[in-house]
Amino acid sequence: MKFDKYYISDAIKKNLKELGFFRPTDIQYKAIPSILKGEDVLAIAQTGTGKTAAFAIPIIDTIHKAKSSKRSDGIKCIVMVPTRELSMQIGEVFAKLAKHTKVKTMDLIGGVDQESQVDRLTAGIDILTTTPGRMFDLINQGFLDVSKVNTFVLDEADHMLDLGFIKDIEYIKNKLKRKHQTLFFSATINKSIKKLAFSQVKSNAIRIQISPEDPVSKNVTHFVMYVEMDDKRFFLEKFIKENPDSKVVVFVRTRVRAERVLKAMERVGIKTISIHGEKEQDLRTDAMKEIKEGRCNILIATDVSARGIDIPDVDYVINYDLPDVTEYYVHRVGRTGRGFNKGEAISFCSEREKPLLDEINEFLNKKIEVINVSKKEYATVLEEQKDLTIDEMIKEQEEWEVDKKKKKKKKRKKK
């Protein structure tokens, strides 16, 4: 059934058409009717299958039909997520889908000016997408009233619960004075987290699970190749140079690794940007804008910052480091092959990462296909970089010495 046949407002149908959405995905087809009925929903679906629109469409439609004008008398829906980037992304989806309606949306995150946010809240908002920190700050300061909220959404629910946000979730739900609808959406969920999730929804909540046998979308082909830790940068360089026009997201394990890989790529003439929790919010926002607009094609990211982000037309995902948490593998490779697009993911696995690979294979219930690299091919990649490695080592030593001198000067000034 196409969106034209749904009992939703013409304004939303117009927005969907402008965005190129004509037919619902599986998760949208199963979730939208239940949400429109006001039922609690716990939905698990592969990443990149349109989960955000699955709850955004019916929420906007319900609020739009209940309003007689664009004036808002209080927030009706809160969408809570774990990261600022995801909050901004979901906020964008809501804004686009609410474009021709009476519904006002807002994204509320930390790391930016609070005063302008308070002004917007005072002017009236219907739907708020937010991270816990700034939301609780404004509630406690008396700037954010949640007494009229009747829909509470938790996206990336497994991650929120796994990070220990259960008390924050219980806190905000206790603040909701009205009888409310609860929607939990996630790409993966384990038994213990599922139990926590069920404790927050009604006992008759609708449970939707799409493709549980294979958590990786059928649009994504994924492989693994065995590369030693110290050689990974050379294989990454080779891959990027062989695919110069492709958009690539590279996942690393830590913030430090992200910056090291970025510098290694820049030294060989490859423009890259990085995103991780240690960066200021404006720099993170600029990085996302740059990659989305195509001004840079290579993004190096850690799991926490990149979880759930939707970057259009990502051709490849490279797992430079295998994730410590098996579920993160699914979220990583899901950055490509989104919607109806096809994508490819390649993981670099070192000898010491093989236990992590075994855990991922077990989680997926099948082995990831291996790209075999002969000794000759492997040696050729390293040989091509031999002279460059020496130059890099000299440059790194020089940079380290300069940095050390700067730190010493700062210490002297403090004294």
Domain with 346, as residue range(s), is: 220-390
Q: Is residue 396 part of a domain?
A: no
Residues 231 and 150 in one domain: no
Query: 398 lies in a domain?
Result: no
Assigned domain for 83 exists: yes
160 and 295 co-located in one domain: no
Instruction: Give 127's pLDDT tier (boundaries 50, 70, 90).
Output: very high
Q: Are 48 and 247 in contact (CB under 8 A)?
A: no
Q: What is the CATH number of the domain that holds 193?
A: 3.40.50.300
Q: Are residues 162 and 142 in the same domain?
A: yes
pLDDT at 398: 58
For 73-112, write each residue's pLDDT tens digit: 899 999 998 888 889 889 999 999 999 999 999 999 888 8
| Whether residue 288 sits in one domain with residue 163 | no
Q: Are residues 187 and 255 in the same domain?
A: no
Angle at which helix 10-18 crosses helix 84-97, to 10 degrees, equals 120
- Whether the per-residue pLDDT at 133 is higher than 60: the answer is yes
199 and 244 in a single domain? The answer is no
**pLDDT tens digits along 265-289:** 998 899 999 998 788 878 888 888 8
- Claim to verify: residue 181 and residue 225 sit in the same structural domain: no
For residue range 183-235, what is the model confidence (pLDDT) as tens digits?
988 877 766 667 777 777 777 778 887 765 677 888 899 999 999 999 999 99
Tell me the β-bridge partners of 127.
Answer: 77, 105
Least Cα distance to 221 among 346, 312, 335, 327 occurs for 346
Q: How many CB atoms lie within 10 A of CB 169?
A: 22
Look up the pTM and report it.
0.73
Mean pLDDT, rounded, for 172-187: 86
| Alpha-carbon distances, residue 127 vs 90, 93, 166 (angstroms) | 11, 12, 22
Instruction: State the pLDDT at residue 108.
Output: 93
User: pLDDT tens across 285-338, in order?
Assistant: 888 889 988 899 999 999 876 666 778 889 999 999 999 988 889 889 988 988
Q: How many domains does the chain have?
A: 2
Which pLDDT band, with edges at 50, 70 and 90, does 390 fall under? very low
Beta-bridge mates of residue 184: 42, 154
Same domain, 204 and 149: yes
State how far Cα 113 lies from the chain centre: 23
Q: Is residue 97 part of a domain?
A: yes
Residue 412 lies in a domain: no
Q: Is 42 in the same domain as 172?
A: yes
Q: Which of 150, 177, 209 finishes a domain?
A: 209
User: Among all chains, which residue has been given the structure tokens 């404790």?
Assistant: 199
17 and 160, same domain (yes or no): yes
Q: Which of 148-152, 325-329, 334-338, 380-384 has the lowest mean pLDDT?
A: 380-384
Q: How far is CA 11 from CA 8, 102, 151, in A?
A: 8, 9, 21
Strand partners, 79: 129, 153
Q: Residue 40: inside a domain, yes or no? A: yes
195 in the same domain as 275 = no
Residues 334 and 290 in one domain: yes
Instruction: Write out the two tokens for 184.
Output: 């939990």
Compute the distance between CA of residue 296 and CA of residue 329 in angstroms, rounded to an integer. 24
The whole-number pLDDT of residue 394 equals 47
> What backbone phi and psi angles, to 5 degrees, belong to 234?
-70, -40
Does 320 reside within a domain?
yes
